[in-house]
Amino acid sequence: MEYTQLGRTGLSVGRIVLGTMNFGPRTDENDSHAIMDAALDAGVNLFDTANVYGEATDRGRTEKIIGSWFAKGGGRRDKVVLATKVFGAMAPGAEAEWPNRSRLSALNIRRSVDESLRRLQTNHIDVYQFHHVDRSTPWEEIWQAMDVLVQQGKILYVGSSNHAGWHIAQANETARRLGTYGLVSEQCLYNLAERRAEMEVIPAARAYGLGVIPWGPLGGGLLGGVIRRAQETGRSADALANSALRDKVQAYEDVVDKYGLAPGEVALAWLLAQPGITGPIIGPRTAGQLESALRAVDLELPEGLLASLEEIFPGPGPAPEAFAW
């Protein structure tokens, strides 16, 4: 495993991030534990989750599964850089039934971190992330709540997810004014087929020293060999009903085949080659999927392949030139 620093921090994290959203809804507890053991054995040390992950009727189930894995001991918790998130309501209709059970008020942050710590069976969270932007809570309040948690030893760093570039700027300029550390990471949707983050989010993150952690690196399966699998199984690729998108994905699979490579591994390797990227989040349902993702770390894409990928999935261009002229 290769390691890099998380943004401007001194924290070393692996270049593949283990996403746990499938733990509970799609992968049972025993298999989830096996995947986490395999990831740790392979050197993956950044595990990402969220307080709302789990079944619709049992949000928080994923954190509980991670907590039961930590409870097995063997240095598991000490070896993991643990990241979780706060924002969403923890039960269907909870926000409508009673106020202050979601978003980023100081009250909900305080309550949510304690509930996550109990489920995770740990005394601290390494990277506590805002799952979404809270437009109704001032950053001054949010940072005051975060600083209290840092002082209490309940969290170490603060990250964001699904924030626009100007949100990152607003958050960190407020932090600077208050004399606090600010955001150290941003999780955003970013992959070969969805590159809008290149216009403002990633430049803002790099300017403020945030590590960028892409989610959805395979585009919901589009970049994982979806056409090939459909042909092999005899099933239709419903996600490719759009003919223009299908043509792009077909061209992608064809050029990857030309180089004798696996589509999913190429998609991850492409992300790893982009400036400012800490590491993509992978969400394996099986140990085999984990092994495939790990191979991407050592995959150096040929220049010819990189040029072809740029032709198939061109980026939006820099801001403001891409939309100003």
Active site residues: 53
Q: What share of the chain is helix, strand, coil (3-state, %, to 5)?
A: 45, 15, 35
The angle at the Cα of 224, spanning 223 to 227, to the nearest 5 degrees, equals: 85
CB 221: neighbour CB atoms within 10 A? Answer: 13
Query: Phi, psi at residue 113, to the nearest 5°?
Result: -65, -40
| Alpha-carbon span 66 to 317, nearest angstrom | 40
Residue in the block written with tokens 């999935």: 313
Burial class (CB in 10 A: 0-12, 13-18, 19+), 234: exposed
Radius of gyration of the chain (CA): 20
Q: Are 225 and 264 in contact (CB under 8 A)?
A: yes
**CB contact set of 243 (below 8 Å; sequence gap of 6+):** none
Residue ranges of the alpha helices (H) in the chain?
A: 29-41, 61-70, 76-79, 94-97, 106-120, 139-152, 165-178, 201-207, 226-233, 243-258, 263-272, 287-295, 303-312, 321-324
Place of tokens 């092994």: 291
Instruction: Decide if 157 contacts 186 (C-beta within 8 A).
Output: no
Short-list 187, 202, 215, CA closest to 129: 187
